[in-house]
Structure 1
Amino acid sequence: MPQLSAPLPAATRRSNGREILRLAVPAFGALVAEPLFLLADSAIVGHLGVEQLAGVGLASAVLHTAVGLMVFLAYSTTPAVARAIGEGQLGKALAAGRDGVWLALLLGVVLAVAGFVAAEPLIGLMGAEGEVRTFAVNYLRWSMPGLVAMLLVFAGTGVLRGLQDTRTPLVVATAGFGINIVLNLWLVYGLGWSVTGSAVGTSVAQWAMACVYVVMVRRNAVRHGVSLLPSWRGIRSMTKVGSWLMLRTLSLRAAILVTVLVVTAQGAVNLAAHQLAMTIFSFLAFALDALAIAAQALIGKELGACNAAKARELTRTMIRWGIGFGVLTGLLLAAVAPWVGALFTSDREVQSVLAVALWIVAAGQPVAGYVFVLDGVLIGAGDARYLALAGLVNLAVYLPLLAAVAWSGAAGGAGLGWLWAAFAVGYMAARAVTLGLRARSDRWMVLGSA
């Protein structure tokens, strides 16, 4: 078993820092570009009317729940490719990437067909009626072709990250965002296709991005003599890892969902403030996710190369950076908390309640930095089973805290403050403990072929 090694020389640590930044900075840009698709759709559709915007919002909630659960296509492909690169087996790496793309295509087709057929009852379950329901169904159905492309983009992005390339995904995401805006403006307003035009435009943009990745994967496979046909053994292996990662993601989304249910009972003001606080928390998470993506690629590569010492040193460096970034963003957020609400709403009560929540978010940022980095390290190591089981444990710890907030009947700033204390401090602390204990052991450091 690999043992905890002494820190590497200062020059080596500086080299590691440059390596992390080389992957993390472009990854951050790509992560920020992705949610801009939804913002662009909302901004363009918002000028059509309230019913259209509400319909798109409902359909997007359904669509992005499905897409969020499929993010394992990137998270399982990256470490598989990176580990093979570390072993010095480019052909094996490209074969793993190819199998990830095929799995994305198969899952995408199944989900797209199911979504198209079930669009009406799914939207009905959300309680939509009248024109809102009609617009929601139209948007969801015409988004289904793009769903296939979105999953291909996940897999393609995972391949490139595993190959230690995060710049190309940034370029592709930026170009896709530009195409999306142009197409949506033309289809929605130029051709008068309403919300259908927005869905079609986004689907076309997603396919343009997917084609870039598919062509790149195909070209590399052909160049290095790797068959384009899938290996069913490889796909089964991806599915096994992916199922654990899906369970991990499901536990995270369940925590967020039950939080929304509790805050909804606190009234419209707290619900609005919570939505803004979660938006800010999520934006700050993008930077931490960039470090996590760098961790996935680098840790997978070094474990594949049987370089336990460097994997440890990279982990230590990224933990320091994650906590340091959390301290920095926490201080900045605490300083602007009383005034940042004015950027989003003119309601003084929402602004006041939001400030309380943001102070709690600020206090929890160092813990969040630690958690996000270790999550990426363990994903890069292929420790998906532990992450899934730990996610269930964390959820079991969080639910009683949330129940206590609900039973307290606290409202206003106190109610939202306790809610965010449960989430940003309690839940994240539980994640920190489960991930930290695992990282301190050697059980996740499987060297060579996983």
Structure 2
Amino acid sequence: MAEPEGDLPVADASGRRIAALALPALGVLAAEPIYLLFDIAIVGRLGALSLAGLAIGGLILTTLSSQMTFLSYGTTARSARFFGAGNRAAAVAEGVQATWLALGVGAVVVLAVQVFAVPLVSVLAGDAEIADAATPWVRIAIFGVPAILVSAAGNGWMRGVQDTVQPLRYVVVGFGLSAVLCPLLVYGWLGMPRLELAGSAVANVVGQWLAALLFFRALVVERASLRIQPAVLRAQIVMGRDLILRTMAFQACFVSAGAVAARFGAAAVAAHQVVLQLWNFLALVLDSLAIAAQSLVGAALGAGQLGHAKWVAGRVTIFSTLAASVLAIVFAVGASVFPAVFTDDRSVLDAIGVPWWFMVAQLPVAGIVFALDGVLLGAGDARFMRNATLLSALVGFLPLIWLSLGFDWGLLGIWAGLSTFMVLRLVFVGWRAFSGRWLIPGTT
């Protein structure tokens, strides 16, 4: 695909430039799911019950922190437009305000979960033993939520100014510390207390706060004003409203899937969790290209260069589709080997086959969908993204999940719902991208 002639791009957006943004972003995006897979492997040796407890606890933590994805994606879109217009100070100011939001919202989440932890876990687990295993993990791990949100805000503004290298360093340091602490605290190695499942939660919290402190430091280095700016906060909240509703649609689906899987027993929910975490990891691998699209599309639109924005969209979509196809082949070939990396429990391994092949089949579709998500998010097309995701969830994913419970379809029905959800999203974002309605220039 040739770059359009005429207007000069705001920044080089060759394949090399896209890769320079995408590869560090891949490291950032992959760090958490890699750590979670490592965490699953450590806890999995404690048995199916501990793994099921981690599955429910992890579902709660991920659901709550993921509601604030606008702190990352919305901030990137706004920061990138200011950066493209030549106003770096305004781009960084978006990060300051997003950080204040992160701290405030995070504190509210911690308080609410401490109050409602027992009924929340009980509803999701559906089994007293699983709930008893999950509750202590949740009570500890929830203290990491403010740090998770601060890191999301930091990633957002730094991507907007097209710096994906420093966030990678911060995240690697944080998760690296968690990875060292996790086996020590779970198993009681090197004289550390044997905390078992609770040790996993402590390791999470320590690493998350270290990364957050590094993102705070980046704002200080920029010499940005740290005062609250109500007008900027309001603008972020307006965009955040639509992105939160979009995220809630995702999380309603995944919470429902986890809760229904738990009704089929510890082995089913553990198998579901293993494949879901792997799916999330692969989704974020592909999302690294979407991050490059966000930054470059936002900057191009901020500079008023619509032709360049369209060129970036097409180029990233091609790269993402090819990458997804390669991943599908790798995980199809490794279907008989990879699952044993995460658990040696025979009942869990027997249940993994069904979701595994659904995951493989979805990957090429996901490659297109995630790339176009990045393009539209970079353009700030939040309202359309909200509507498309809500409709896909209500028509595709949720009905099949709950029919699975009613008709005892098990993991087959749950993952058929996820596949339907992805196909519907492909239809919506594909139409929007081709329509050109997202091509709106300027900084607002």
Q: Normalization by structure 2: what TM-score?
A: 0.85
Distance change in 2, residues 1:279/1:315 (3 Å): same
Partner of 2:172: 174
Distance change in 2, residues 1:111/1:348 (3 Å): closer
**AA in 1 matched with 2:226:** L
Distance between the aligned counterparts of 1:21 and 1:288, measured in 2?
12
Partner of 2:426: 432
Identity %: 37
Tell me which moved more, 273-282 or 80-89. 273-282
Residue in structure 2 matching 1:285, options 259, 283, 286: 283
Distance change in 2, residues 1:158/1:363 (3 Å): same
Distance change in 2, residues 1:327/1:201 (3 Å): closer
Is residue 300 from structure 1 mapped to residue 298 from structure 2 by the alignment?
Answer: yes
DSSP-derived class of the 1:320 partner: helix
Q: In the TM superposition, what is the alpha-carbon distance from 1:395 to its structure 2 partner?
A: 1.5
Distance between the aligned counterparts of 1:260 and 1:60, measured in 2?
10
Residue in structure 1 matching 2:366, options 344, 365, 368: 368
Deviations along 1:112-135, one digit per CA (max 9) or x if unpaired, are: 222233334433444588886566
Deviations along 1:402-449, one digit per CA (max 9) or x if unpaired, are: 2797499586xxx7566544432x321210111111111232112111
DSSP-derived class of the 2:72 partner: helix
Larger radius of gyration: 1
Q: In the TM superposition, what is the alpha-carbon distance from 1:23 to its structure 2 partner?
A: 1.0
DSSP-derived class of the 2:359 partner: helix
**AA in 2 matched with 1:8:** P
Q: In the TM superposition, what is the alpha-carbon distance from 1:369 to its structure 2 partner?
A: 0.6
Q: Are 1:273 and 1:354, in contact at CA under 8 Å, matched by a contact in 2? A: yes
Partner of 1:146: 144
Deviations along 1:28-87, one digit per CA (max 9) or x if unpaired, are: 112221124444555555667877665544433322221121222111111111110001
Distance between the aligned counterparts of 1:337 and 1:47, measured in 2?
21
Partner of 1:203: 205
Q: Are 2:45 and 2:344, in contact at CA under 8 Å, matched by a contact in 1? A: no
**AA in 2 matched with 1:76:** G
Partner of 1:448: 442
Distance change in 2, residues 1:417/1:229 (3 Å): same
Distance between the aligned counterparts of 2:50 and 2:418, measured in 1?
33
Distance between the aligned counterparts of 1:407 and 1:51, measured in 2?
21
Partner of 1:390: 388
**AA in 2 matched with 1:378:** L
Partner of 2:220: 218
Distance between the aligned counterparts of 1:130 and 1:271, measured in 2?
14
Partner of 2:103: 105
DSSP-derived class of the 1:446 partner: coil
Q: Please list every run of 5 or more consecutive structure 2 residues that lacks an aligned counterpart in the other structure.
A: none
Is residue 22 from structure 1 mapped to residue 20 from structure 2 by the alignment?
Answer: yes
**AA in 2 matched with 1:108:** G
1:322-361 residue pairs with structure 2 within 5 A?
A: 322-337=320-335, 340-341=338-339, 343=341, 354-355=352-353, 357-361=355-359
Distance between the aligned counterparts of 2:172 and 2:377, measured in 1?
26
Residue in structure 1 matching 2:4, options 5, 8, 21: 8
Partner of 2:252: 254
Q: In the TM superposition, what is the alpha-carbon distance from 1:270 to its structure 2 partner?
A: 6.2
Distance between the aligned counterparts of 2:226 and 2:328, measured in 1?
48
Distance between the aligned counterparts of 1:50 and 1:399, measured in 2?
27
Q: In the TM superposition, what is the alpha-carbon distance from 1:366 to its structure 2 partner?
A: 2.0
DSSP-derived class of the 1:8 partner: coil
Q: Are 1:330 and 1:366, in contact at CA under 8 Å, matched by a contact in 2? A: yes
Distance between the aligned counterparts of 1:212 and 1:300, measured in 2?
25
Deviations along 1:227-257, one digit per CA (max 9) or x if unpaired, are: 2201111111111111211111111222334
Residue in structure 2 matching 1:312, options 298, 310, 313: 310
DSSP-derived class of the 1:306 partner: coil
Distance change in 2, residues 1:341/1:206 (3 Å): closer
Distance between the aligned counterparts of 1:356 and 1:151, measured in 2?
34
Tell me which moved more, 70-79 or 375-384. 70-79
Q: Normalization by structure 1: what TM-score?
A: 0.84
Q: Are 1:37 and 1:202, in contact at CA under 8 Å, matched by a contact in 2? A: no
Distance change in 2, residues 1:368/1:203 (3 Å): same
Partner of 1:378: 376
Distance between the aligned counterparts of 1:57 and 1:404, measured in 2?
19
Distance change in 2, residues 1:125/1:427 (3 Å): closer
**AA in 1 matched with 2:157:** V
Q: Are 2:286 and 2:370, in contact at CA under 8 Å, matched by a contact in 1? A: yes
Q: Please list every run of 5 or more consecutive structure 1 residues that lacks an aligned counterpart in the other structure.
A: none
Deviations along 1:272-327, one digit per CA (max 9) or x if unpaired, are: 65444434433321221111111111111111111111110000001111222222
DSSP-derived class of the 1:192 partner: coil
Distance between the aligned counterparts of 2:178 and 2:219, measured in 1?
23
**AA in 1 matched with 2:82:** A
**AA in 2 matched with 1:293:** I
Distance between the aligned counterparts of 2:200 and 2:268, measured in 1?
31
Aligned residues, how many?
437
Q: Are 1:79 and 1:379, in contact at CA under 8 Å, matched by a contact in 2? A: yes
Distance between the aligned counterparts of 2:210 and 2:27, measured in 1?
19
**AA in 2 matched with 1:218:** V
Q: What is the root-mean-square deviation in Å for CA atoms of aligned residues?
A: 3.6
DSSP-derived class of the 2:80 partner: helix
Partner of 1:192: 193
